[in-house]
Amino acid sequence: MTDQTPPAAAAPQPAAPLTAAEDKQWAMWAHFGGILWLLPSLIIFLVFKDRGTLTKQESKEALNWQITFLIFFIGWQIIAAILGAVLLFSGVWSIFWIFGLIGWLIYLANVLFSILGGVKVNGGGSYRYPVNFRFIK
């Protein structure tokens, strides 16, 4: 009887480094992806961080901004809910719509900064968000 064991699988090869154009492209998409919140920046960071230096730097910056933005946005939603409840029971609920408007302005700031970052990186530069906590070093 002959042994019919399959050959050992080859070790996975590391992914090829990104070309300069691909590196710039993925770095740009990491910023533009912020329009759709956290997930695109996170995926680009995890998949391409070891394949291109610009992509690693810019996707990390974009991801840190998205985490910062989510903290601001969720924090504002909690504050708005508490203030809204207070205003509702105090009878001054007619200005409650302002809280919703501020929430949209926070989201529009995210869209604006994400677009500015994508355009700046696509132009060959690097982008730093004005308020950004560095959660990922």
135 to each of 60, 61, 85, how far by Cα in Å? 9, 10, 33
Task: Please give the pLDDT value at position 93.
Answer: 66
In a domain, 129, yes or no: no
Q: Residue 89: count other Cβ atoms within 10 Å of its Cβ.
A: 9
Residue 136 maps to a domain: no
Output the furthest CA–CA distance in the chain (Å, rounded): 89
- Residue 51 structural domain: 20-122
Give me the tens of pLDDT residue by residue for the chain, a chain 137 residues long: 566 777 777 767 778 898 999 999 999 999 999 999 899 999 999 999 999 999 999 999 999 999 999 999 999 999 988 888 888 787 776 777 788 888 899 999 999 999 999 999 999 999 999 988 999 98
The percent helix, strand, coil of the chain (3-state, each to 5) is 70, 0, 30
Q: Is the dihedral of CA 90, 96, 98, 102 positive or negative?
A: positive
The answer to whether 130 and 65 are in contact (CB under 8 A) is no
pTM of the model: 0.82
Q: Is residue 118 part of a domain?
A: yes
DSSP-assigned states of every residue in 104-120: HHHHHHHHHHHHHHHHH
Residue 79 inside a domain? The answer is yes
The total number of structural domains in the chain stands at 1
Whether 137 is in a domain gets the answer: no
Residue 58 lies in a domain: yes
Rounded distance between C-alpha atoms, residue 60 and residue 66, angstroms: 10
38 in Cβ contact with 67 (< 8 Å):
yes
Phi, psi of 78 (to 5 degrees): -65, -45
133 is a domain residue: no
- Do the domain assignments include residue 111? yes
